[in-house]
Amino acid sequence: MAKALTFLFALLLPLPLAGEGRGEGSGDAPVLRWFKGNTHTHTLRSDGDSSPEDVVRWYRQHGYDFLVITDHDKITTISDDKLLLIPGEEVTDRLPKTPLHVNAIGLKSVVKPQGGSSPADVLQRNVNAIREAGGIPAINHPNFGWAFGTDVLKKLENVKLVEIASGHPYVNMEGGGGVPSVEKMWDDVLTSGKTLYGIAVDDSHHLKFESTKGDVALPGKGWIVVRAASLTPEAIMKALERGEFYASKGPELADYTVTDSIISVTLRERGEAKFRTQFIGSGGRVLLESVENPATYTIRGDEGYVRTKVIDSNGNAAWTQPVRVRR
């Protein structure tokens, strides 16, 4: 039986540490490198507790290569000669008792909340406005305020990014009370044939360990590692649109390979943590779970798609993007 793969995220090269080799190759083909970044964070210019300068300093000092500051309904402008800063905004809309937020990555002008008649209508109007402003839209925390679910995500057009993991303590990413986790929503959307790429974020608001509510949304809780030819806004944004990144709340990949017959994940072992790797297909079904490093899955051709989830012994996870599989 012949198999054909539609590659949504295909890595045929080893993954160096984020930030290794910041530049183009000298030959015809560019050297693709890996850059660690966060696409959702706030400063005191909206509802954060620290200045933009302090926020940027934290990410620079903790090994990030790029950062998108997404203050609510404004673009926070700041320069730094060591950390790539991509303009961003959290477009903050709502219906009664229903918060509807969309991040704008790399936009050229502020996007005002567009409003609308339903969650799908509001989100789509804001997605369209972000595209018109030159940005990439990312759907934020669907379970925040239990705002919307899979049916809404399936309706949205011209958007490929959705938050599947967050460091914010109040966005209900794991679901509950009969509402599915956002990761389960992601699988339901993928199973329907629609392509979304999953991102992990901080949604950080605080650099300090105290707040009026007693809980804090600290940095360093979720990030993405993007495969790009250079550390520029254009290269990072193109990679995001293609799904050439993985998302993580802890585990790091050392290598990820896709061929016409196998998918293989090699983990970068740190400290005493142990790992298990799940290969997940249509319907969110676990096709294989392995504790080997590297972990390898042999493609059958009937999976619909295959994505991987790495879970460490401290409960942290990392996710690769889906690879479409058809006979």
Flag whether pLDDT at 35 surpasses 50: yes
Residue 195 sits in the same domain as residue 114: yes
**262 shares a domain with 242:** no
Residue 315's domain spans which residues?
Answer: 1-17+252-327
The candidate with the shortest Cα–Cα distance to 317, out of 245, 175, 231, 221, is: 221
What is residue 216's predicted lDDT score, i.e. its pLDDT? 85
Kindly state whether residues 155 and 243 are assigned to the same domain. yes
Res 129: pLDDT: 98
- What per-residue confidence (pLDDT) applies to 213? 63
Per-residue pLDDT at 270? 84
215 shares its domain with 89: yes
Q: Over the chain, what is the mean pLDDT?
A: 90
Which of 211, 233, 250 corresponds to the end of one domain? 250
Is the same domain home to 200 and 63? yes
**Per residue in 215-263, pLDDT tens?**
789 999 999 999 999 999 999 999 999 999 999 999 999 989 999 899 9
Are residues 314 and 225 part of one domain?
A: no
Tens of pLDDT, residue by residue over 10-30, are 333 333 333 333 344 445 667
Instruction: Tell whether 155 and 298 lie within a shared domain.
Output: no
- Give 142-198 pLDDT, tens digit per residue: 999 999 999 999 999 999 999 999 999 999 999 999 999 999 999 999 999 999 999
Q: How many helices (H) and strands (E) does the chain have?
A: 5, 19
Q: Give the closest residue to 237 by CA, choosing from 78, 91, 37, 100.
A: 37
Same domain, 162 and 196: yes
pLDDT at 83 over 60: yes
Domain check: are 188 and 269 in the same one?
no
